Structure 1
Amino acid sequence: MQSISWRNTSSSWETLVWALSISALAGHQIMRKYDGFFLKLHASVVLLPPAVAAWYAMSLQIGQMSLVSTMALCYAIYLGALCTTVVAYRLSPFHPLYRYPGPFWCRTSMFVHAVRTTTGKQMTYLKALHERYGDVVRIGPNAISVRDASLVGPVLGPSGLPKSAFFTGTVLTESNIHLSGIRDLEEHAIRRRPWVRGLAPPALREYEQIGAARIYQLVNRLAEQKGVVILGQWFNYLAYDFMSDMAFGGGSELMRDGDQTGLWTTLEKGTATALFMGQVPWLGVYLGHIPGAARAVNEFLEYSREQAMKRLARGSITRDLFHYLANEDLPKKDPPPTAQLRSDGLLVILAGSDTTSSGLTSVFYGLMTDPSAYACLQQEVDRFYPPDEDVCTTKHHRDLHYVTAVINESLRLFPPTPTNSSREVPHNSKSLIYNNVLLPPGTLIHIPHYVLHRDPRNFVFPDTFWPERWLIASGQLELESARLPHGLTQPPPGHGKPKFEFVHNDAAFIPFSIGPMNCPGKGLAMQQMRMVICALVQRFRFRLQEGWDSRRYEEDFKDYFTANRPDLPVHIEPRY
């Protein structure tokens, strides 16, 4: 009898194992079909089948185990089968991205790549992957990274692909997303209109005086400093104070008082955590339902929303950016929902301060590590802005060709958003083919700026700071008469051209992205950087701290979607 009972128990458990395994197969197909933010559905798929199996086993008194032990065994069998099914499919030739090479473990889960981002070296990691595997690398089960400039237009351009759910994960919610996270192309175009008005040339002229006042304040504060100065820190302060004036009508005095509240620490911690969540956006959204989870992100989100609400409560004092975002320039048009304006406060802070300070820090790093380039820029600034000239007027900006070349070269080497967010082939579309690259529905496509900018097929001497490349490419300078990178010299007159092929692909230069979803603040960022560079170079001489290893800047340059810069210790001397 005991033998018969054991066989019956064994047979019943075998049936349960098969049932749980088949349920896991079905669950995998459901999750593939509904690959989004369906918390209740996903919870049901994961939790219900083993719970039902455990109830069935206990009701039939299969075995002699307790309820807890039975539940644990059923969940172990089911989840094990589900994970095995998922991983087996992702590794199999039946997966639509099977053809693309990449690290083995990256094929199994996006968590593998997400963990990589926590080091802050995602851009160099992707660059190394492309050097090993080629132009198309599979970096996740349904994600590829592309190092092919010919795909920039088709993927990012006017007829390009919508954004992925990256930003949804970073803000821990699928509702009230800021402008950069809107995935629907038509909705994005509508939401972008007030940003375009607020960052158009007429609005930029209104911001000139705001920017000038803050830049003169920076000049005065730097003149007061003694000894070693951390230049990047002052650029952080300037960028945030200006952004507060320009966007919120004031409220910040970091240059005067310092960062007493730890604002930049909060920002840097928040962006690091947010980048991880952006790789696995469903996790970010689900954690958003748990109080206290993702604390660093929540602190930054709450701070940005508070700034937006303070500005809305105060109303317009000046024609700041929120004057346009709230449709205050269009009296007959209703203002957008408050929740929308609160969410856009995050984008204002992140895009309006962190990226600009990153670009300025990299500009001065490049100049101080290349004295001859510094001398060329100094000469141009002195020509247009001698000591008695108002350095914060923009009337000469179109003629600052070398200053613009230096800015572009800094953005090429150290883009403020080194890897950018991904685009996605819609799930309800057909497979797309761009330049022999097949993109099945649901595929995430990364086109990392840093990788394109440092590809020798796009730019000669890709890892070298050489501003002259931009003047040569635009026809303003002949290669034979150009200053060459350190270590190279021009051949004597009459002895031919330099012994290298000049390569310059403007299509691969995308620090502000391109297309209808590009950065609407490009004009403001370029204007502000030109003003700051001219003001500081007109007034001061800068040199790196003695003994500081300049290679540390490259090594410590971190990618947390926006770039975290290392310290840039300098000595400052007044020129007059």
Structure 2
Amino acid sequence: MFGYVLAAVVALSSFSYFVLWPVIQYFRDPKGLRKYPNLNLLSGITDLGFVYEAHKGFRSDALLKAHQQHPVVRIGPNSLSYSSISAIKDIYGHNTKCLKDVFYDTLAGTHHHLADVTDKLDHQRKRRILSSAYALKNLEGWEHKVADKTARFITAADKHCTFPLKAGTIPTSEDLTFDYRAYANFFTLDAIADIGLSERLGFLDQGHDLVTAETMDGKLYKVNYRACLHATARAQSVLVWAYSSFPTLWKLAPILSSSYKKMVKLNEGWNDIVWHRATQRLERYRKGEKLDDFFSALMDDKNGNPNGMEWGEIVAEISIMMNAGSDTTAIGMNNAMYCLLSNPAALSKLRQELDAVLDPNEVVVPYDKVRHLPYLRACIDEALRLFPPTTFGLPRRTPAEGAPILGDFVPGDTSVSISAWVAHRDEKVFPEPEKYRPERWLGDDARELQAAFITFSTGARGCIGRNISYLEQTVLLASVVHRYEFALPCEGWQPNRLEAFNLSPGPMPLKVWRRYHDQDVK
């Protein structure tokens, strides 16, 4: 009898907590947010409404459709999404009163890293330490590492070269030998490991991403780097939006779903990949190796004095470096090539610009030769606009006293955000937003466009690694466009795209051959 009573109490309590109280709060409307249209039927009542949109695989596109009708959309009981670029400075600008949202605390481990630290003073401390590593002057010291990865990418592409495609034909399946998406990711993973930890992963050489992981008790095993990284992001990006329920959902999901069970297991692999990299680099540091990399900047300042960071904090910084420092740039590289192959006129114009400054037999393009080429940069920026690697609105929280956004007062402790996918499709700023038009970045209104360009976010919390990303994207794109011809599987072909925190394209198999095809062609 007691068991039935207890079950009834638990059921009633659960119903009251998860259903009745949220409905009551929706109609009480203590913050006055009910005036904003909902993303879906559940959005005003429970965060599970946005969890549902995330589960479908492209929540930012659902946001775009909603924002085509409404400038402000309620995506959760305490969350608002904006579409107007005028809200960027209110939410993300240097003078904003908005803070990092509790979203970042929800995902943080035992120690915060630069991207998820919410305390302003702690962020300033971290940024001061890391700014020396990401400074522009360091690009000169690290360019040879990017050049090395570019040479290895080219070696791999050369091995996949075929005879030129005959006019008016499409590639056969046997000729689609080069997965540009995979090799772009191998490039960025190899590059960030070298730049960050002076480690050679060798993915470009081996043509796969099998890597050693290590548990905290010293067990070594092999896992696939990308599978672990992407599974971690996918699982977290679906469940995190229900902030208070996230720990419970994280535990329940693998019990209720075999796919989540697999993703959570791969998340453990990701943690072990990071741990192995961190401990191996620490051992080299302790042995006195003097290496010019990101890890050295974490440990000591420019004068050789210890920064005093805790070990857990250093591991957290290595984790975000290996994650954000590789995935977004690889996505940008892939999208730039896809956009150019889908728009032959733009590709031809870029080749003309490159051919004017490069020798026909130039292999790895020196950064100084191409860093200021306007059309090359425009091609990269337009791909980053059309397909921003990080699509979701980076959440901020209004201060306790509230804050004005677009001239409208938003009560305190409310989550607010702008999705780059939505902002970059504002027709008033980017006419014909769905078209790939690099020329738009070369007009008189280019400065206005940059103000609306939030691929790297903006303000004090803008992406600290954007200079390295541009270095990698610029050198690789210039080198391969100058050396090769590529063909998509067919006219109108598009990659599959799945949104986690980043909008990740699926494989992009290409036919590749040398422009000067009398050399090294099989």
Both structures adopt the same fold (TM-score exceeding 0.5)? yes
Task: Say whether the 8 Å CA contact 2:299–2:306 is kept in structure 1.
Answer: no
Corresponding residue number in structure 2 for 1:263: 225
* Letter of the 2:284 counterpart: R
* C-alpha separation in 1, matches of 2:373 and 2:252: 52
Q: 1:349 deviation in Å?
A: 1.1
| Counterpart contact for 1:166–1:421, Cα < 8 Å | no
1:307 equivalent in structure 2: 277
TM-score by length of 1: 0.78
1:291 CA displacement: 13
My pick for the range that moved more, 227-236 or 391-400, is 391-400
Q: Which residue of 1 aligns with 2:32?
A: 96
For residue 158 of structure 1, report the CA deviation from its aligned partner.
1.1
Residue of structure 2 equivalent to 1:117: 54
Indicate yes or no: 2:422 matched with 1:451: yes
**Matched-pair contact (CA < 8 Å) for 2:332–2:384:** yes
1:305, 1:255 → 2: CA distance? 22
Partner SS for 2:68? helix
Aligned ranges 1:139-218 → 2 under 5 Å: 139-160=75-96, 161-171=98-108, 173=109, 175-218=110-153
What is the CA-CA distance between 1:290 and the residue it aligns to?
9.4
SS in 1 for 2:66: helix
Aligned partners of 2:225 and 2:273 also within 8 Å: no
Q: Deviations over 1:532-552 (max 9, x none)?
A: 01111121111212x3642x3
CA-to-aligned-CA distance 1:459-478 (integer Å, 9 cap, x gap): 01100000000011467xxx
Residues 168 and 281, structure 1, Cα contact 8 Å, conserved in 2? no
536 and 416 in structure 1: CA distance in 2 versus 1, 3 angstrom threshold: same
Assess if the C-alpha contact under 8 Å between 1:168 and 1:278 holds in 2: no
Q: Which runs of 5+ in 1 are unaligned?
A: 1-65, 476-502
Select 1:533's aligned residue among 467, 477, 492: 477
Structure 2 counterpart SS, 1:106: coil
Structure 1 residue 345 and structure 2 residue 345: aligned? no
CA distance in 2, matches of 1:159, 1:390: 45
Query: Which amino acid in structure 2 is aligned with residue 254 of structure 1?
Result: F
Give the structure 2 partner of residue 106 of structure 1. Answer: 43
CA shift at 1:115, angstroms? 2.2
Q: Distance in 2 between matches of 1:288 and 1:136?
A: 30
Aligned to 2:502: 562
**Separation of aligned partners in 2, 1:220 and 1:447:** 41
Structure 2 match to 1:412: 385
Look up the match of 2:213.
Answer: none
Q: Which residue does the alignment assign to 1:438?
A: 409
Q: Is the 8 A contact 2:390 2:455 kept in 1?
A: yes
The CA deviation at 1:345 is 1.6
Structure 1 position 69, deviation (Å): 1.3
| TM-score, L = length of structure 2 | 0.86
> Helix, strand or coil: the match of 2:33?
coil
Q: How does 1:153-552 map to 2 (within 5 A)?
A: 153-160=89-96, 161-171=98-108, 173=109, 175-226=110-161, 227-228=175-176, 229-257=178-206, 258-260=208-210, 261-285=223-247, 294-315=264-285, 316-327=289-300, 329-389=302-362, 391-426=364-399, 429-473=400-444, 505-545=449-489, 547=490, 549-550=492-493, 552=494
Report SS of the residue matched to 1:250: coil
1:414-438 Cα shifts (integer Å, max 9, x gaps):
0010114200113xx2121222332
Moved more, 237-246 or 560-569: 560-569
Q: Is the 8 A contact 2:90 2:404 kept in 1?
A: no
Match in the other structure for 1:494: none
Q: 3-state SS of the aligned residue for 2:100?
A: coil
Which one-letter code corresponds to 1:235 in the other structure? Answer: A
Which residue is 1:87 aligned to? 23
Question: Does the C-alpha gap of structure 1 residues 385 and 460 become closer, same or farther in structure 2, counting only changes over 3 Å?
Answer: same
Aligned to 2:487, the other structure's residue is in SS state strand
1:519–1:105 distance in 2 versus 1, CA, 3 Å: same
Tell me the CA shift for residue 74 of structure 1. Answer: 2.2
- Give the 3 Å change call, closer, same or farther, for CA 126–222 of structure 1 in structure 2: same
Conserved in 2, the CA contact under 8 Å of 1:385 and 1:391? no
* Partners of 2:507 and 2:444 in 1: CA distance: 32
Say which SS state the counterpart of residue 234 (structure 1) adopts.
helix
Cα deviation, residue 574, structure 1: 0.7
1:9-63 residue CA offsets vs partner (Å, 9 max, x unmatched):
xxxxxxxxxxxxxxxxxxxxxxxxxxxxxxxxxxxxxxxxxxxxxxxxxxxxxxx
Is contact 1:145–1:447 with CA below 8 Å preserved after alignment? yes
3-state SS of 2:35 partner: coil
Q: Which residue of 2 aligns with 1:43?
A: none
Asked whether the 8 Å contact 1:460–1:504 carries over to 2, the reply is no
Deviations 1:374-419 (A, max 9, x none): 0000011111222255643222334310000000100000001011
Which SS does the other structure have where 1:418 is aligned? Answer: coil
Kindly indicate whether the alpha-carbon contact (under 8 Å) linking 2:85 and 2:423 is maintained by their aligned counterparts in 1: yes
Q: Which has the higher contact order (CA 8 A, sep 6+)?
A: 2
Q: Structure 1 214/78 Cα, relative in aligned 2: closer, same or farther at 3 Å?
A: closer
* 1:212 match: secondary structure: helix
Contact 2:227 2:266 survives alignment (8 Å): no
CA contact (8 A) 1:214 1:238 kept: yes
Query: Secondary structure of the equivalent of 1:445?
Result: strand
Structure 2 counterpart of 1:11: none
More displaced, 147-156 or 67-76?
67-76
In structure 2, do the counterparts of structure 1 residues 303 and 364 end up closer, same or farther at CA, with 3 Å as the change threshold? Answer: same
**CA separation of 1:94/1:283 partners in 2, compared to 1, >3 Å: closer, same or farther?**
closer
Quick check: 1:327–1:336 contact (8 Å CA) kept in 2? Answer: no
The superposition leaves residues 121-177 of structure 1 with CA deviations (integer Å, 9 ceiling, x where unpaired) of 011011011123x11000100001100111101210112221112233334x4x302
Helix, strand or coil at the partner of 2:416: strand
Partners of 2:91 and 2:417 within 8 A in 1: no
The count of residues paired between Structure 1 and Structure 2 equals 475
Whole-angstrom CA distance in 1 between matches of 2:282 and 2:72: 46
Quote the offset at 1:276 in angstroms: 2.0
Aligned to 2:258: none
SS at match of 1:409: helix
| Contact 1:328-1:335 at 8 Å conserved across structures | no
> 1:401–1:471: 8 Å Cα contact kept in structure 2?
yes
Letter in 1 for 2:71: D
- AA in 1 matched with 2:191: F
Using a 3 Å threshold, how does the CA distance of structure 1 residues 416 and 441 change in structure 2: closer, same or farther? same
What is the match of residue 15 of structure 1? Answer: none
Does the CA-based 8 Å contact 1:424-1:444 persist in structure 2? Answer: yes
Partners in 2 of 1:117 and 1:368 — Cα distance? 30
1:94 and 1:284 mapped to 2: Cα distance? Answer: 24
Matched, 1:70 2:5: yes
2-structure distance, mates of 1:420, 1:113: 12
